[in-house]
Amino acid sequence: VLDRDTLKTLVRFTNDKNIHLVCDEIYAATVFNQPGFISIAEIIEEELYCNRDLIHIVYSLSKDLGFPGFRVGIVYSYNDQVTSCARK
């Protein structure tokens, strides 16, 4: 689990270097210690100068809902090209 400041630094670095950032948030609801889980989506809402086309989030229902073997995943992206390819 990364804290808010680390996530902000990561977003700024990838934005400055024009690097895509893929965040695996598969265990988002199973963080029980401090600091609590912070989604990268929260961070980019706070950042004024952020190229959202470079941010992609991966999530799955199986871990948080306790469904081992349930192969349903989600790719959330702000990039229209990525979402278009995912629909094919």
Q: How many other β-carbons are positioned within 10 Å of the β-carbon of residue 32?
A: 7
Return d(Cα 73, Cα 68) in angstroms, integer: 13
For residue 76 the two structure tokens come to 């959330």
Give the residue among 36, 73, 37, 42 at the shortest CA–CA distance from 55.
42
Q: What pLDDT shows up at residue 17?
A: 97
Render 9-38 in DSSP notation, one character per residue.
HHHHHHHHHT--EEEE-TTGGG--SSSPP-
Give the pLDDT of residue 31: 67
pLDDT in tens, the chain (88 residues): 788 999 999 999 999 999 999 999 887 777 677 677 888 999 999 887 899 999 999 988 777 777 777 777 888 898 999 988 888 7
Domain of 58?
Answer: 4-87
Which CATH number belongs to the domain containing residue 78 in this structure? 3.40.640.10
Res 73: pLDDT: 83
Task: Give how many domains the chain has, as a whole number.
Answer: 1
* 8 Å CB contact between 69 and 80: no
Instruction: Say what the pTM is.
Output: 0.80
Torsions phi, psi for 38 (to 5 deg): -125, 120
The pLDDT score that the predictor gives to residue 43 is 93
